Amino acid sequence: MTAPTTRPPSRMRNPAVVLPAAMRPLLDIFEAAKQGGVPQPTLELVHLRASQINGCSYCVYGGVASARKAGESDERLHSVAAWREAGCFTEPERAALALTEAATRLADRPDPVPDAVWDEAARHYDESQLAALTLMIALTNLFNRLNATTRQPAGATW
């Protein structure tokens, strides 16, 4: 049996920390998304799922902690990656998770966010809520790319 490999050290601090003028507007977008009427636990699930897809260990680690603060159970957190098969998610949550996957995996299909995925989300969420979900997905993807590119380790503090 081989010893576990260790992840290389981070390449630099998060770019939004290095250039602090970038962080405030990003946090403002995050706060705006939280005001869109989507339940906080759903936003946490969206953040966690996008981070899992993108392999952002920093955001997965932080997302689990944040979701727990929002009241998420271990059962649900352990099931996010397999949400289609897990019986513990509501129909609106499933629609949000499907939208998250489509909007995160843009290059996986010719029609990145198929009408069926969008229409199912729109069946459960109004325009403000769809805006909040879309902003949360996009912002999570941005942070995932910053963190993965610069190798921000899980559990690190900025």
29-62 pLDDT per residue, tens: 999 999 999 999 999 999 999 999 999 999 999 9
Give residue-wise pLDDT tens across range 66-114: 999 999 999 999 999 999 999 999 999 999 999 999 999 999 999 999 9
Domain annotation for the chain: domains and CATH numbers? 38-149 (1.20.1290.10)
The answer to whether 60 and 48 have CB atoms below 8 angstroms apart is yes
Residue 118 has pLDDT above 60, yes or no: yes
The per-residue b/e assignment along 41-73, b for 16 or more CB within 10 angstroms, e otherwise, is bbbbbbbbbbbbbbebbbbbbbbbebbeeeebe
Q: Looking at residue 96, what is its pLDDT? A: 98
pTM of the shown model: 0.92
Q: What gap in Å lies between CA 75 and CA 145, rounded to an integer?
A: 28
Q: Looking at residue 3, what is its pLDDT? A: 59
Q: What is the DSSP string of 104-135?
A: H-GGGSSSSS-HHHHHHHHHH--HHHHHHHHH
